[in-house]
Amino acid sequence: MTSEELQQIAETDVAERKEFDYELNVCMALGCMSQHSDKVKAALTEEVARSGKRCHVRQTGCLGPCAAGPLVSVGPTGTLYGNVQEADAEAVVESLGGEPVKRLETHFDHYFHGQHPIVLENSGQIDPEKIDEFIGRGGYLALMQVLTQMDPQTVIEQISKSGLRGRGGGGYPTGLKWGTVAKAVGAQKYVICNGDEGDPGAFMDRSVLESNPQRVIEGMAIAAYAVGASKGYVYVRAEYPLAISRLTVSLREARRRGFLGGNICGTTFAFDIEIRIGAGAFVCGEETALIASIEGLRGQPRPRPPYPAVSGLWGSPTLINNVETFANVPPILRRGPEWYSSIGTAKSKGTKVFALTGKIANTGLIEVPMGMTLREIIFDIGGGIPGGHKFKAVQTGGPSGGCIPEQHLDLPVSYEALIDAGSMMGSGGMIVMDDTSCMVNVARFFMEFCMTESCGKCIPCRTGTAQMFNLLTKICDGEATHADLDLLIDLCDVVKSTSLCGLGMTAPNPVLSTLRYFKDEYLEHIENRRCPAGVCACAGKAIHEEVTA
């Protein structure tokens, strides 16, 4: 593959697209697929053939507002239809070139306004299984540039300059990580893409892999060149069958077009990627556990240091980044680090993909610039709380994060600000809760998650989470005393300070953050045997006398 050939593929794709008067982009990501968007696409294809209109019916990745699925976007007008059923195919095709179908039209202007798609820029516009459509939108241009015009050091400098930080949750500077792996000594190095997304309510990485897998492959190839790796692994959880099948097709396509394998882009650079499927353990998202899992061992973390950058997969220097981090890489190199660092806040650059779920009008996938406030995300983009209920808290960062209440809604979203508020950025799940949610029960839910997902290796996480879960259950059931609450707080400190890996260290966070902002709800359960949200069945339970030690 030379840059002329790349350009030719892009031009051919653009020309092919121009042969059609219209296009119907049917969302075939998992959200809409679960509403049988594949049948809608088949019906639309049939209807287009019958009508004789020059219209291209395309399967695409995520279009955004998942709750309104199955979604169909109409080109070139940009009309977005929601809740499209098979029976609507005739009306949709008939309306092409005329007035849009009123009953299917959606009104998501607020939803898209304020978003800044970089990772998701091709999502919903290209067929994720067709590499040429990706190339037609500027795909693999960055890899070509990097391999033919830059040395590895320059690539790392550009990434450092862009201010990109790890999107998996920790926020470690990506350029610094790449530099460490590049400097590490080893005949063989590896690049791993962490797609073991497991936070409840999070589906960013799944959507990226389903909507634009080539972007992740391109990012990994650039990273491999920068750090000197020749072999890559994408670790995806088995619960994401569609992402795995799209990735499999995409890897084959990338090899066919010469972006993987030997002599990539006509240079001496060789790199190939294999998929590793996780067996359903949340802890395998922790990098050392993930590496153990790829090696075929029990998915348990080990103490760091040594960090994977020095001694990772099979003892070799290994770069591990999250799906979204890799997906950010090609545009940074294509458009320059200055462009990227102009977006976002002082310390958190670029954009972040969030999965909006819970008690919110517009459930779906969004990408916003860092620094946008939670209020804008929840009330402008998310459309606020449905059913006349009142906002209570937003949970970010999954089981490692915390609940942020009303008074912090004007917080600009950045790594530091969220940690200061007692939560964390995490991988991007955002669960909105209204006044029908009991915060003690929410903390209990996340503690149960940590308890069942603990690997069992270190004592504080293995038995501490089980004890905390029992204490939280006791509070919810209206059987707790103040002494139980004190014990819970003490265990939070022990588990947070002494656990081996991030799972245990952050497991108490949902309890600590709800205690910080909603302690009155805990006390209400304990002192008055009353659940303010009416969720827990603790009413009428006897109030035990406190036994003071």
> Given the rule CB under 8 A, which residues bind another protein?
281, 283, 298, 302-303, 305, 451-460, 462-467, 470, 487, 490-491, 494, 497-500
Cis check for the bond before 117: say yes or no (omega within 30 of 0). Answer: no
Pick the closer one to another protein by CB: 149 or 548: 548
Name the residue nearer to another protein (CB basis): 326 or 469.
469
Task: State the Cα–Cα distance between residues 328 and 220, nearest whole angstrom.
Answer: 10
State the nearest-atom distance from the C-beta of 408 to another protein, in Å: 24
Please, what is the minimum distance in Å from the beta carbon of residue 12 to another protein? Answer: 51
Q: How far is CA 151 from CA 226, 320, 323, 325, 373, in A?
A: 8, 21, 24, 21, 38
d(CA 203, CA 354): 8
Q: Please say which residue, 356 or 480, places its beta carbon nearer to another protein.
A: 480
| Residue 259 · residue 218 · CB < 8 Å | yes
Min dist CB 39 to another protein, Å, is: 39
DSSP-assigned letters across all residues of 16-47: HHHT-SEEEEEE-SHHHHTTTHHHHHHHHHHH
At its nearest, how many Å lie between another protein and the CB of residue 546?
15
Is 56 in a helix, a strand, or coil?
strand
Kind and range of the H or E run holding 177 = helix 174-183
Is residue 271 within 8 A of residue 251, CB to CB? The reply is no
Q: What is the smallest separation between the CB atom of 483 and another protein, expressed in angstroms?
A: 9
Q: Smallest distance from the beta carbon of 423 to another protein, in angstroms? A: 19
Question: Under a CB-based contact definition with an 8 Å cutoff, are residues 452 and 295 in contact?
Answer: no
Cβ distance to another protein smaller for residue 56 or 457: 457
Min dist CB 322 to another protein, Å, is 23
Nearer to another protein, 249 or 466 (CB): 466
Helices 174-183, 213-227: crossing angle, 10 deg rounding: 50
Q: CB-wise, 125 or 454, nearer to another protein?
A: 454
Residue 232 in contact with residue 224, Cβ under 8 Å?
yes
Residue 170 CA to residue 416 CA, distance in Å, equals 11
- The CA distance from 251 to 264, in Å, is 14
CB of 498 to another protein, least distance (A): 5
- Within 8 A by CB and 6+ apart from 443, the residues are 472, 510, 511, 514
Find the radius of gyration of the CA atoms of the chain: 24
* Residue 457 vs 530, nearer CB to another protein: 457
Is 85 or 467 the residue whose CB approaches another protein more closely? 467
